[in-house]
Structure 1
């Protein structure tokens, strides 16, 4: 196997080289005191193993590891650190192994044995057996109300986020799906209180856990890294947000079949976009989607009233008014529903509460047109 060594401390680099040459199981094809020079080597020549120091200036080992994984995921990384607190982080970042400084020949020998075992496992032929027919698996991601994964073959399956920050980073990448986001932008949103170096380290660890979760769910969703930026791409995974946007229609309902189609689209809206997570960066999009939902729902309510279903319209409109309590349009349709039901006590009570709300919260009275219409009906 071919290996390159990267460590900004020359004595440590020479010490590791001596140990590897003495062992004789690896061919050293390059050694560098700069992560960037090591990456340049890998751009032109493949290595099976990279021995990579974590604590380096300019670009630390965890960041360099992301670049190496982006070039060739088959390249195995052995992280080296003088600080034990990085050891677990390095191992979590899908490292083949980690070594604590000063590296000893005994510990290095164990690492090389692990590398050989992994190579043999990868090279061993895999015997495949015909699989029994199974139900078609459909994976979905839900964003309305809360972030959830749904597996059609296991309805009760729950996802387990390693941390709330992992969930937020995934949600942020999904929010900007297909677009590259600077890592500095991500850490500013998710870890604003952390020092930059610690925040970036947390980001690399978090991305590893996200990839691990996606793999466990067998999702065709990729978190890619390139030129200091991340992006999320997906295939063959349904997203309720995309289904809602594709089915959204801003025109009045013209037929029963059209009403039924829109009901399916409106049914996707379980609550506001990422409502339960309270992400500041999602607020603008959440408001836009809420406005679309209300507009589309109002057209359905108008159709229900025109087709003699005032009770159905009233149930829908009361939910809408809870989301937008000051809307005179929603209030008019609620009052019309009560009138069509012949419930004039409900009609009066609802209008009185609406007037009281406007006066108390906004210091205004209802529009003169609606007020005149109400008095005429009463």
Structure 2
């Protein structure tokens, strides 16, 4: 089966857009589905949600969520109200969509209209959602988040204790989940993980009985005691390694190819790129590709591209719209204008690229810019 027969182009995509773009981002929805299956197998019967915030980590929340629904996923998490409204418009009724940052003050009616589930992070958010339920004349779905030790979002222990003792605190609210978030799950030996689990246990017992969720992608690999009733993977679905100290148990999801704009012969001593941070020690061949920091490739990231399995190191600094490659390892004339070189794929994973940039795979994916032609396959 060729790529065209497997592809599901994004809305508004045409063949011309691939020709006009400087780089092509291929997103394998089949790999996302397989990663979901691998995680659900590890969860051994515990329900598994899908975190699709930041537009599905930059890969298209609607496409990702639709693919996950084919695997039986019926609960999704976004960060912002606007993301939730957009996702509901794509998915239609049925699936649960939780807004992790909570509903902004005054926007509760919009959340109710889109049938979104508020993640309640404070007594103020709880009171506002309770008022919204009275206005709607029905019980409204919500998750209650407690701060078990990350100090980012969620109710502090004292707030949980006070609210838990108030029999009217949750009037009109359908508590679908009690949740918290792990700060150090990617470090399995970090004692903070168990401290957070115990704090979560203590605080959830102060609240009305409801299903519990604590594990993120890496938390799934901490063991059954962290699984509770629902897991909330994000990064692992997109191929980022949830176990950084071990081989990646997930399939890669993205491939990125950049087009060659020009090739040239550099004379000995030639300065390359802004600041002339590289000078040719001897005559060499170079190629300029149509990809740069405006596309999310970090300016000071020391890295390389690949062509036919041959590594082509970067020369000098990354520019806004271009990168210069050393192509001396290729036979003369091998690489031509319009050819594609591999930036992300079998030779360089998202985690590899993150290591070169001194960052994490999350930032690489969510930085990938809008100028790419996005090609969806389900192979």
Whichever structure has more strand as a proportion of its residues is: 2
Which structure dedicates a bigger proportion of its chain to helix?
Answer: 1
Both proteins in one fold, TM over 0.5 = no
- Which of 1 and 2 has greater Rg? 1
TM-score, length-scaled by structure 2: 0.22
